[in-house]
Amino acid sequence: MAFDDDIQMKYKEMLANYIQELTEQALYEGQRFSWKAIEHKIPPEEIINIHLKVLKELFPDIPKKILDSFDFLLEVMVGYGLAYQEHQFLRGRQLELKSEIEIAANVQQALLQTNIPKVEELDIGVISVPAKIMNGDYYQFAEHENTMSVAIADVIGKGIPAALCISMIKYAMDSLLESRQNPSYILENLNRVVEQNIDVNMFITMFFGKYDFRTNKITYASAGHEPGFYYCASEDHFYDLQSKGLVLGVDRQVKYEQYELNLFQNDMIILLSDGVTETRTKEGFIDRAAVTSAIRAHLHLPAQQIVENIYKDFEKMQGFQLRDDFTLIIMKKNV
Amino acid sequence: MDGQSCVMIMNEWDIVAARQLGRHAAKELGFGAVDQARITTAISELARNIYHYANGGKIYIDKIEEKEKKGIKITASDHGPGIPDIRKAMEDGFTTSGGLGAGLPGVKRLMDEFYIDSKTGEGTVVQVVKWLR
């Protein structure tokens, strides 16, 4: 490497120049040299050694005691050199880990892939954004002959452990959805799966709804999930989607109550994860009314645009730093 | 092999004696100031391990020659409790930030070759080499 070869000559030139002129420009050269040296992985003790050699060349009659003092300095700096090398190594390791996690996130994304149904009766908009690289929120749509189901779940916690947990839920759901059962049946089954397979310190909340195109009725149940909203167009009013139910994985005997709601033209069902309501501004957490008024502000738009606009608004409100995974689903009754 | 020298490590002063011996050999072989400091740091670390964990042992210093290469070989040997999980002891982590010195990964970095063998209840042998460039 060319830099390594004439490093001592370069250093000598720069040092001599500085001693001669004592200018800021000459010092700045020194700083630029340090970046180059770091780039070439030259440890600190090596720099001291070069400094010593150059000093000997520039001032042949330096007292021996001063020269000897450099042995002491070298001894001290070897430790720093080791710490520096270790730091370089750990930095490399960190980059490796990061790319590994990114690959895992892609795998997860492929795994959780769900198609949003395109149906005449409903206009559906979805956004789901992870706070870190991997998503601890999950949603899934499924279409059957005359019905459509929607699930939204949230693992308490975020990052990789939450994401691993979610992948398991997805598999359990896939087989459960085949059964085309009622929301309460689905949640009760899932609850047993979670209770058996997941660490006691990990909790999952879930909302599950089933929409019947023949009756325009949505049947739903919730396992401790952040309540969604029901927008009644004829009253122009937002209601909380009332439901009771324990989070998944706590008690295997738990029963989930089922609720029903008839949808009419322009009515909306809004589902969300607590990442939406726990949006934090400088003044503290926003309240649920902030969510409904945000929806109201975009009411005239298609569902997908509403959720995207709300995400942008909320992202901006918290200074573009998501603290929790953010998932928002809006289903609007068309005809 | 050209004359082996050895220091018994029983107390903290012996660490200094081992360093002294190592530095002397390194100087004779023609190692520069930086490599001398690296070699003695490695010796300190190995000697300290013996002193702290093994209740005594030995440090051998050898001048070696191989295919026109010259170098210094340091062997640390003890009959202490041994290292139950060598992989863990060799794990690169935050050894230098704990105020406890370089650790075995540090020794490995300071030298060109590193060899370790340890049996629980029997003891540990660490052998390191630095070649003269």
Same domain, A218 and A313: yes
Q: Which of B19, B34, B35, B36 to mutate to test the interface with A (most CBs of A within 10 A)?
A: B34
Q: Do residues A229 and A217 make contact, with C-beta atoms less than 8 angstroms apart?
A: no
Domain hosting residue A282, numbered range: 116-333
pLDDT in tens, A284-333: 677 788 889 999 999 899 999 999 999 998 888 877 777 788 999 999 99
Same domain, A209 and A329: yes
Query: Which domains, ranges and CATH numbers included, belong to chain B?
Result: 4-131 (3.30.565.10)
Q: Do residues A292 and A110 make contact, with C-beta atoms less than 8 angstroms apart?
A: no
A274 vs A325: CA distance, rounded Å: 8
DSSP for A91-113? HHHHHHHHHHHHHHHHHHHHHH-
Instruction: Read off the pLDDT band of B1 (50, 70, 90).
Output: very low
The pLDDT of residue B102: 75
Give the distance, in angstroms, between the CA of residue A328 and the centroid of all CA atoms in the same chain. Answer: 15
Same domain, A141 and A192: yes
Same domain, A169 and A224: yes
- Chain B residues with CB under 8 Å of A8 CB are none
Residue B74: φ, ψ to 5°: -115, 130
Supply the DSSP symbol for B53: I
Cβ count within 10 A of residue A186: 24
Domain count, chain A: 2
Q: Do residues A268 and A330 make contact, with C-beta atoms less than 8 angstroms apart?
A: yes
Indicate which CATH number applies to the domain containing A60: 1.10.1240.30
Same domain, A67 and A130: no
The pLDDT of residue B100: 60
Question: Looking at the domain assignment, is residue A215 inside a domain?
Answer: yes
Average pLDDT over residues B30-37: 94
- Chain B residues with CB under 8 Å of A82 CB are 41, 96, 102, 106, 109-110
pLDDT in tens, A184-211: 999 999 999 888 887 777 789 999 999 9
Question: Looking at the domain assignment, is residue A122 inside a domain?
Answer: yes
pLDDT in tens, chain A (335 residues): 467 678 999 999 999 999 999 999 999 999 999 999 988 889 999 999 999 999 999 999 999 999 999 999 999 999 899 888 888 888 999 999 999 989 988 888 888 888 899 988 999 999 999 888 888 888 999 998 899 999 999 988 667 887 888 888 888 888 888 877 899 999 999 999 888 887 777 789 999 999 999 999 999 999 999 999 999 999 999 999 988 999 998 888 999 999 999 999 999 999 999 888 877 666 667 778 888 999 999 989 999 999 999 999 888 887 777 778 899 999 999 87
A75/B37 CB distance under 8 A = yes
- Chain A residues with CB under 8 Å of B105 CB are 86
The pLDDT of residue A176: 87
A78/B38 CB distance under 8 A = yes
A246 vs A101: CA distance, rounded Å: 32
A156 vs A206: CA distance, rounded Å: 11
The pLDDT of residue A1: 47
Same domain, A201 and A147: yes
Q: Do residues A74 and A48 make contact, with C-beta atoms less than 8 angstroms apart?
A: yes
Same domain, A76 and A127: no
Same domain, A198 and A258: yes
Which of A39, A60, A93 marks a domain boundary? Answer: A93
Same domain, A201 and A277: yes
Question: Looking at the domain assignment, is residue A98 inside a domain?
Answer: no
Question: Looking at the domain assignment, is residue A110 inside a domain?
Answer: no
In this complex, which of B33, B101, B109 lies closest to A85 when CB atoms are compared? B109
Question: Looking at the domain assignment, is residue A108 inside a domain?
Answer: no
Q: Do residues A324 and A274 make contact, with C-beta atoms less than 8 angstroms apart?
A: yes
Which of A61, A93, A125 marks a domain boundary? Answer: A93
B33-49 helix and B12-29 helix, angle to the nearest 10 degrees: 150
Same domain, A149 and A183: yes
Question: Looking at the domain assignment, is residue A104 inside a domain?
Answer: no
pTM here? 0.69
Indicate which CATH number applies to the domain containing A126: 3.60.40.10
pLDDT at B6 over 90: yes
Angle in degrees, CA B95, B101, B105, rounded to 5: 50
Instruction: Read off the pLDDT band of B3 (50, 70, 90).
Output: low
pLDDT in tens, B79-121: 999 988 888 888 776 555 555 667 888 999 999 999 999 999 9
Looking at the DSSP bridge assignments, the partners of residue A248 are: A204
In 3D space, the residue among A19, A27, A22, A85 whose CA is nearest the CA of residue A58 turns out to be: A19
Which of A35, A58, A93 marks a domain boundary? Answer: A93
In this complex, which of A78, A86, A90 lies closest to B37 when CB atoms are compared? A78
Percent of chain B whose pLDDT exceeds 70:
90
Question: Looking at the domain assignment, is residue A189 inside a domain?
Answer: yes
Same domain, A319 and A232: yes
Which run of H or of E encompasses A39? helix A24-39
The pLDDT of residue A58: 95
Same domain, A165 and A217: yes
The pLDDT of residue A319: 76
State how far residue B40 is from chain A, nearest Cα, in angstroms. Answer: 9
Residues of chain B in Cβ contact (below 8 Å) with chain A:
32-34, 37-38, 40-41, 92-97, 101-102, 105-106, 109-110
The pLDDT of residue B96: 56
Q: Do residues B129 and B113 make contact, with C-beta atoms less than 8 angstroms apart?
A: yes
pLDDT in tens, A24-44: 999 999 999 999 998 888 999
Q: Which residues contact A108 (CB under 8 A, 6 or more apart)?
A: A134, A135, A163, A166, A167
Residues in chain A: 335
